[in-house]
Structure 1
Amino acid sequence: MKPKISPVSSLRFRDFRLLWFGLLVSRIGSEMQVVAVSWQTYLLTGSPVSLGLIGLSRFLPVLFFSLIGGIAADRYDRRKIMLVSQIAMACFSLILAFTTWQGTITTAIIYLMIAANSLAGVFDTPARQSIVPLLVPKNEFVNAISLNTTMWHTAIVLGPSIAGFAIASLGIGSVYFINAVTFLASIIALVLMQKGGRQTSTRSSFSLSAVTEGLRFVFRTPLILSSMLLDFFATFFSSATVLLPVFAKDILSIGPQGLGILYAAPSLGAITGGLIISSINRLHNQGKLIISSVLLYGLATFLFGFSRHFALSLLLLYLTGFGDVISTIIRNTIRQISTPDHLRGRMVSVNMIFFMGGPQLGEVEAGFLAAAIGTPASVSLGGLGTIIVTILIAYLVPKLRKYHGNEVIIS
């Protein structure tokens, strides 16, 4: 492994830099809202099942509309798609803020706004991920993807930490309003970008054949498909974060401030892992690295369920983030570089079903299982499930296990 000169080299490209900083600010607000939604839902219901339904609300739009969002990203200007999506998400946050201030907020309104926000994300995510290869040279892909992942987790560190104190001092409604305001950063960045968001002259049609073309590509590329399956099953079993309000309120007794810190801990680990990966020029034995990092993720989740000490819980959550981000960066790099530009949006939309389906359906499973056998047992059992599935996939798909990465990591 050979160190690079700079772990932030791709930020020297103007449009990527604008997008990166704009999304950082807006993601901080969005992650603040994640904490506010979970805390408010649990206060309204006192039920872990209601927390699980948050995940279901997020996933249903992905299941039914993600492939359409992928076609849109391949057909239209990706920058404009992101602009419309970001404006829509800001409006949904304002609705949550005003209904909370007026005292008319209900779980039905929360679930509806979560679903609406997810629907906007169905179009935003394929456009956002597919635009990156158009903003930086090919030899900067790994660095750009690592920086995007690090940015994402930086927001997850700062957002929940700020949210915990903001909820305690300003109230839940103010957190929703702050999130709406932070979208201005990404909106302004998108307006200022000089490059358009579409490189290819091929315009995909909104047709069944356009949908199936993306599906065929994924299912005929074993390395991409197996990485998606690994992501789905690992996150399905280890969706501990949805139950963090239960740990904060009933098990660790640390309140909303402590909840924000719990949410931030995995991303501190992810930032560490992301910075390490972004500083490396060439990664060898990437398949084994993916497998071992997911095993770490599952093991830390398993142990977290047994923890009754705040500091130990933070350490274990930190390790889940560290393991998860290494796997995520390698998998995203494989998919982006191995996919033709005219199919990138649809590839990302297929991946959204796996990437979001795993954790969101896992949240539903975790909520019901927690109600049946208890929250700690639900989390530990999920971690054990992740370990078993990871070993099984590594055994059944030797191409993933033996993958070295020479095809996608370009000096």
Structure 2
Amino acid sequence: MTRAPETTPNSVAVDTGMAALIGRESFRRFMTARIGSITAQQMLLLAISWHMYDLTSSAWDLGLVGLFQFMPGLAMTLVAGHCADRMHRGRLVVGCLAAQAMTASLLVGATVTHAVTRDVLLGFSLFLGAVRPFQMTGQQSLLPMLVPQSLLARAMALSTVVQQICVVGGPAVGGLLFAIGVNSVYLTCAALFSVSAATCAFVRYDYLPPSREPVSAVSVLAGLRFVWSSPLLLGAISLDLFAVLFGGATALLPIYAREILHVGPQGLGLLRSAPAVGALCVGLVLSQRAIRRGVGKKLLVAVAVYGLCISAFGLSRWFPLSLILLAISGAADAISVVVRQTLVQLETPDRMRGRVSAVNTLFIGASNQLGEFESGVTATAFGVIGSVVLGGCATIFVSLAWSRLFRSLADRDNLH
């Protein structure tokens, strides 16, 4: 695929407004496919979990569904990055979306024929977990090829907005469809994945043939070496790793809802949604007004604000205040995500973008999973409130330490 000439009036190089971004046909198609695919993924994962619980009524089996999705994803992430650098990224994403459409269709057939068992659902979970890293690294490394550098920060912010909307809305739509029947969810997912694959197939960009570097452990691990050799990238990616590792309080929210704030399951839903609302609001602002100066300091301040909000949430006994603090933490996290991902893409040559994106994805996945484990361990040792407050304080400390350890990150003035 080669890029078709841009004919919209907003494609003029000096126009860096939102109209210029939305006016790019390839970007519109990419975002349309992203909306459909994220929504379908959220619905499909929720449906598989519900289906498993309907079959077995076992919390252990629900945990296995998550484990079977996480482990192959962790194992395949670096391989996926290597593939994204050696293959046509658009076709890689299309293939992943088509594979997920096929999975949803097979689940429809298995449900109709009453062939769905615990092992069948675990097998599909394993397959979906293995496919997702290839889609994620392909998408992350493809986006910078669809927009000029002057629009990349806005594109990242808009991508964050889309993701937050789909993460919140996907499960809600899936829940409504599940009331009709599980196959209504699977059919909708199959349709969304198919439409997304077809839309992504028409995304045009300048495709450069990959290098003829032989496939080896050295080439697969090249992304790790590249990040390690760049203090700016190492600082940005590791900052997010430790901030989420220490500052994540998601795993303990059910305890806060029931025993500390006394708001029940309805309140738990609001607590889980509050960070996404904050991230959505900030993402909309950043998609209109990109951060232009002092990006390194603002990144570090955003992480410190995130930690401060988590510590304050840990001490809060008033439900409205807790919601506000979580929303602000989500807003600060959105600033961190947009700045970090934009820096990673701009500082990485195109031939390495897939493998570096894979390293970034690997760090994010590890921080989320290890963060939940860390919350459980520290809650056992120091109590629930002590765990959250100490985690937030540790995040603030990390922000201060990184400002000294990674001066190239702290002194970075602009994104470009």
Considering the TM-score relative to the shorter chain, is it more than 0.5?
Answer: yes
Matches within 5 A, 1:58-207: 58-92=69-103, 113-163=124-174, 169-170=179-180, 175=185, 178-195=188-205, 198-207=207-216
State the alpha-carbon separation in 1 of the partners of residues 361 and 306 from structure 2.
20
| Contact 1:72–1:345 (Cα < 8 Å) also in 2 | yes
Give, in whole Å, the separation in 2 of the partners of 1:348 and 1:80: 17
Amino acid at match of 1:10: L
Answer yes or no: is 1:350 the counterpart of 2:398.
Answer: no
Q: What is residue 400 of structure 1 aligned with on the other side?
A: 409
| Pairing 1:7-406 to 2, within 5 Å after superposition | 7=18, 9-33=20-44, 44=57, 57-92=68-103, 113-163=124-174, 169-170=179-180, 175=185, 178-195=188-205, 198-244=207-253, 252-255=262-265, 259-281=268-290, 283-307=292-316, 309-367=318-376, 369=378, 377-405=386-414
Go from structure 1 to structure 2 and tell me whether the alpha carbon gap of 1:30 and 1:258 turns closer, same or farther (over 3 Å shift): farther
Long gaps (5+) in structure 1: none
Q: Percent identity?
A: 33
Q: How far did 1:341 drift?
A: 0.8
Q: How far apart, in 1, do the equivalents of 2:253 and 2:51 lie?
A: 13
Normalising by structure 2, we get a TM-score of: 0.81
Q: Is the 8 A contact 1:265 1:314 kept in 2?
A: yes
Identify if the C-alpha distance between structure 1 residues 212 and 159 changes in structure 2 by more than 3 Å, giving closer, same or farther: closer
1:218-271 Cα distance to aligned partner (Å, 9 max, x none) = 11110001111111111122333344455567765543x655544332222112
Note if contact 1:68-1:206 (Cα within 8 Å) is conserved in structure 2: no
Q: Do the aligned partners of 1:31 and 1:159 also contact (CA within 8 Å) in 2?
A: yes
Q: What is the CA deviation profile of residues 35-65 of structure 1, one whole-angstrom value per residue up to 9, with x for unaligned ones?
A: 6677888995568x976x7765554334322
Distance in 2, Cα, partners of 1:248 & 1:33:
27
CA contact (8 A) 2:16 2:151 kept: no
Evaluate the alpha carbon distance shift between residue 203 and residue 306 of structure 1 in structure 2; reply closer, same or farther with a 3 A threshold. Answer: farther
Higher relative contact order (CA 8 A, sep 6+): 1
Structure-2 change in CA distance of 1:310 and 1:39 (3 Å): farther
What is the deviation of 1:75? 0.7
Provide the rounded CA distance (Å) in 1 between the counterparts of 2:255 and 2:135: 31
Which entry has the higher C-alpha Rg, 1 or 2?
A: 2
Residues 1:185 and 1:296: Cα distance change in structure 2 (over 3 Å): farther
Deviation string 1:139-177 (CA, Å, 9 cap, x unpaired) is 22222222112211221232344456666x457775565
Give the C-alpha shift of residue 112 in structure 1: 5.5
Amino acid across the alignment from 1:344: R
**Residue deviations 1:337-389 (CA, integer Å, cap 9, x gap):** 11111111111111122122111222233345556766555444433332232
The structure-2 alpha-carbon separation of the partners of 1:109 and 1:8, relative to structure 1 and needing over 3 Å to count, comes to: farther
Instruction: Give distance in 2, aligned partners of 1:277 and 1:139.
Output: 13
| TM, length-normalised to structure 1 | 0.82
Structure 2: distance between partners of 1:277 and 1:182: 28
Greater mean alpha carbon deviation, residues 144-153 or residues 156-165 = 156-165
Q: 1:115 to 1:366 in 2, by over 3 A?
A: farther
* CA root-mean-square deviation: 3.6
Q: CA deviation at 1:33?
A: 4.9
Change (3 A) 1:356 1:253: same
Q: Structure 1 residues 178 and 301 mapped into 2: Cα distance closer, same or farther (>3 Å)?
A: farther
Contact 1:236 1:359 in 2 (8 A): yes
Give distance in 1, aligned partners of 2:226 and 2:152.
21
Distance 1:230 1:63 in 2: 20
Residue number in structure 1 paired with 2:7: none
